[in-house]
């Protein structure tokens, strides 16, 4: 049925198209019909909010059948409506799809297969972007160790992307794992679904070959306190009702929630800290850590994190100095723990927050100090292909690069989600102090018994940070240069540098 658009609404739309180079609009509802040939949805009208706060329907096609509004996939993997003349062509989308698919395959060492290649290319592109985000749910260190284990067996993980509305698949099936093919089939590409199927891979393909499968199952089911699978759902025993159906699903659902929904686990542990379901999660976390040699700090915390006794005063100081800082929300649901390893992007964000705080005290700003790098051209100076718009600290990373504080893992890679090492943190902090022209206090140079393990490019920075008291060792006169730098250690160094600045004002 054709929709009639008021001339006022049409005028508002016309003006919005003229004023914005990319005129994505906010849409309330959509009307569609099913294409009898392909079975795909064909949108016919969209509901938009006018400048007067009223919702009106506008047609997707004009009277001659030409497309007026296009439903496209943006770089975040979300759909949006844009004027048809601004939408990328089919050829352009095809190139984007192939480039993104190749990049994801290379990054994660996988093979991606599209089960229904006749589907709209925008739909396929969005699925690839969602898949990349879903895989990022798995701790990077765990994923790499598992990937190495698969490679040693001559295996490569295949991801088969299916249609979410596939009529041949039960509506309850969101994904499947085939241990014979080392293949994960996804119908619903979300972090929770991928983590569930990936947990099957870890369990069936890798853990069962490292340990006795019977022993893993026996230790797990012993925590069920006699509850049998296939029976009633007991919330203190099982993480979900689906987990109560079989041991394999119990393990996969538990690991999925641990990796993809840690906030739910943390809230659960507050209410029932000694419940069997929490003890099974603790066992899964320890098992994965031991089997793959990944520090527990790389996994989400099961209980809400508390700062170590030596860090409590520093945490209070940090929260006062940086009320909206990167580490202010530690120890709350949705955020990592105090003892968790700091990611490179979080450390960069905190470092830049510190720089902005110092500049504000000096009545300086980025625009005044670096006029050669205007904000609207910042993206042109980004050398890192992995620091995209989905990286929350992108601006901070690029600015620190331009300040000479960071150089990346390589010329075009920053590894934003990787854990920062202690020597990397030392180098970044040393260069930050130099960029801010902060004089370092030169105390007695401490003994560093493991200095031979420091990289050549890091040794000067490590010595400077230790002698100034900004960083300390790990005991026994050791620095552990390649060790993980925790969130509470990171925030303490920011506080110490700020105090150093305060003493020079």
CATH number for the domain harbouring residue 175? 3.40.390.10
Query: How many beta carbons lie within 10 A of that of residue 103, not counting itself?
Result: 14
Examine residue 304 and state whether it is found in any structural domain, yes or no. no
Tell me, yes or no, whether 63 and 173 share the same domain.
no
- Helices (runs of H) and strands (runs of E) counted in the chain: 17, 9
Any domain includes 1: no
219: helix, strand or coil: helix
> In terms of domains, do 361 and 423 share one?
yes
| Stated length of the chain | 505
Q: Is residue 428 within 8 Å of residue 406, measured between CB atoms?
A: yes
Q: Which two tokens stand for residue 316?
A: 């209070």
Q: Which residue has the tokens 């496209």?
A: 72
User: Is residue 225 situated within a structural domain?
Assistant: yes
Q: Please count the structural domains in the chain.
A: 3
Judge contact between 122 and 73, C-beta under 8 A: yes
User: Within this chain, do residues 359 and 478 fall inside the same structural domain, yes or no?
Assistant: yes
- Angstrom distance (rounded) from CA 181 to CA 270: 40
Same domain? For 172 and 270 the reply is yes
- Show which of 298, 322, 342 is a domain's final residue: 298
Cβ atoms 152, 305 nearer than 8 A? no
Residue pair 327/350 in contact (Cβ under 8 Å)? The answer is: yes
CB neighbours (10 Å) of residue 11? 12
Q: Are the beta carbons of 505 and 436 closer than 8 angstroms?
A: no
Question: pTM for this one?
Answer: 0.63
Query: Which residue range(s) make up the domain with 177?
Result: 93-298
Residues 320 and 280 in one domain: no
**145 and 76, same domain (yes or no):** no
**C-alpha span between 53 and 353 (Å, rounded):** 38
- d(CA 378, CA 374) in angstroms, rounded, equals 6
Q: Do both 109 and 196 map to the same domain? A: yes
**Local confidence pLDDT in tens for the 505 residues of the chain:** 323 333 333 333 333 333 333 455 566 688 888 877 766 778 888 887 776 777 888 898 988 889 898 888 888 888 888 888 988 999 999 999 999 999 999 999 999 999 888 888 998 999 999 999 999 999 999 999 999 999 999 999 999 998 766 655 554 578 999 999 999 999 989 999 999 999 999 999 999 999 999 999 999 999 999 999 998 888 899 999 999 999 999 999 999 999 999 888 888 888 888 899 999 999 999 999 999 999 887 888 787 778 899 999 999 999 999 998 989 877 665 566 788 889 999 999 999 999 999 999 999 999 999 999 998 888 889 999 888 876 678 899 999 999 999 998 988 899 998 899 999 999 999 999 999 999 887 767 788 898 899 999 999 999 999 999 999 988 888 999 999 999 999 999 999 999 988 877 6
Residue 370 maps to a domain: yes
Question: Domain boundary residue among 30, 58, 87?
Answer: 87
Task: Indicate whether 112 belongs to any domain.
Answer: yes
Chosen domain end from 229, 264, 298: 298
Candidates 296, 288, 208, 275; CA nearest to 248 is 208
Please indicate, yes or no, if residue 256 is contained in any of the structural domains.
yes
419 class by beta-carbon count within 10 Å (0-12 exposed, 13-18 middle, 19+ buried): buried
Domain assignment present for 260: yes
> 85 with 133: CB under 8 angstroms?
no
In a domain, 303, yes or no: no
Residue in the structure block whose two tokens are 């190749």: 102
Asked whether residue 99 falls in the same domain as residue 80, the answer is no
Is the distance from CB of 130 to CB of 74 less than 8 angstroms?
Answer: no
- Both 112 and 47 in one domain: the answer is no
Q: 176 with 238, same domain?
A: yes
499 plus 439 within the same structural domain: yes
Q: Does one domain contain both 62 and 140?
A: no
Measured CA to CA, the distance from residue 435 to residue 405 in angstroms comes to 7
Half-sphere exposure (Cβ direction) of 240: Cα atoms closer than 13 Å: 17
Helices (H), 153-275: 191-200, 208-210, 213-222, 247-260, 262-271
């Amino acid at each position: 049925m054709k929709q009639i658009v008021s001339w006022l609404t049409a005028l508002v739309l016309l003006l919005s198209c003229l004023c914005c180079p990319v005129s994505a609009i906010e849409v309330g509802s959509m009307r569609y019909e099913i294409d009898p040939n392909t079975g795909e949805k064909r949108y016919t009208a969209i509901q938009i909010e006018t400048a007067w706060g009223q919702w009106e329907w506008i047609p997707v096609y004009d009277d001659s059948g030409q497309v007026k509004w296009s439903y496209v996939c943006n770089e975040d993997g979300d759909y949006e409506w844009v004027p048809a003349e601004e939408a990328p062509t089919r050829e352009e989308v095809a190139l984007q799809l192939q480039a993104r698919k190749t990049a994801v395959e290379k990054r994660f060492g996988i093979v991606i297969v599209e089960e229904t290649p006749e589907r709209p290319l925008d739909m396929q592109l969005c699925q690839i972007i969602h898949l990349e985000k879903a895989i990022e749910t798995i701790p990077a260190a765990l994923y790499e160790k598992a990937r190495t284990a698969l490679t040693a067996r001559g295996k490569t993980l295949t991801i088969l992307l299916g249609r979410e509305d596939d009529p041949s698949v039960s509506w309850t099936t969101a994904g499947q794992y085939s241990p014979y093919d080392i293949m994960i089939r996804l119908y619903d590409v979300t972090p929770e679904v991928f983590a569930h199927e990936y947990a099957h891979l870890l369990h069936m393909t890798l853990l069962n070959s490292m340990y006795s499968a019977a022993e893993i199952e026996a230790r797990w089911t012993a925590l069920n306190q006699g509850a049998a699978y296939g029976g009633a759902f007991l919330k203190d025993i099982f993480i979900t009702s689906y987990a109560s159906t079989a041991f394999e699903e119990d393990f996969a659902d538990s690991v999925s929630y641990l990796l993809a929904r840690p906030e739910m686990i943390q809230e659960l542990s507050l209410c029932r800290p000694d419940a069997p379901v929490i003890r099974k999660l603790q066992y899964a976390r320890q098992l994965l850590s031991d089997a793959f040699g990944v520090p527990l700090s790389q996994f989400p915390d099961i209980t809400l994190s508390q700062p170590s006794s030596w860090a409590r005063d520093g945490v209070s100081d940090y929260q006062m100095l940086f009320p909206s800082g990167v580490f202010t929300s530690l120890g709350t649901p949705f955020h990592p723990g105090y003892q968790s390893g700091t990611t490179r992007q979080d450390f960069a964000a905190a470092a830049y927050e510190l720089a902005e705080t110092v500049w504000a005290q000096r009545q300086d700003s980025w625009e005044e100090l670096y006029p050669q790098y205007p904000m609207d051209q910042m993206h042109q100076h980004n050398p890192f292909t992995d620091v995209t718009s989905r990286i929350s600290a992108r601006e901070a990373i690029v600015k620190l690069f331009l300040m000479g504080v960071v150089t990346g893992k390589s010329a075009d890679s920053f590894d934003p989600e990787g854990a920062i090492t202690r020597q990397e943190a030392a180098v970044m902090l040393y260069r930050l102090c130099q960029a801010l022209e902060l004089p370092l206090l030169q105390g007695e140079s401490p003994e560093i018994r493991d200095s031979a393990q420091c990289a050549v490019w890091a040794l000067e920075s490590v010595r400077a940070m230790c002698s100034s008291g900004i960083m300390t060792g790990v005991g026994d006169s050791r620095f552990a240069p390649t060790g993980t730098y925790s969130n509470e250690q990171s925030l303490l160094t920011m506080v110490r540098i700020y105090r150093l600045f305060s003493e020079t004002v």
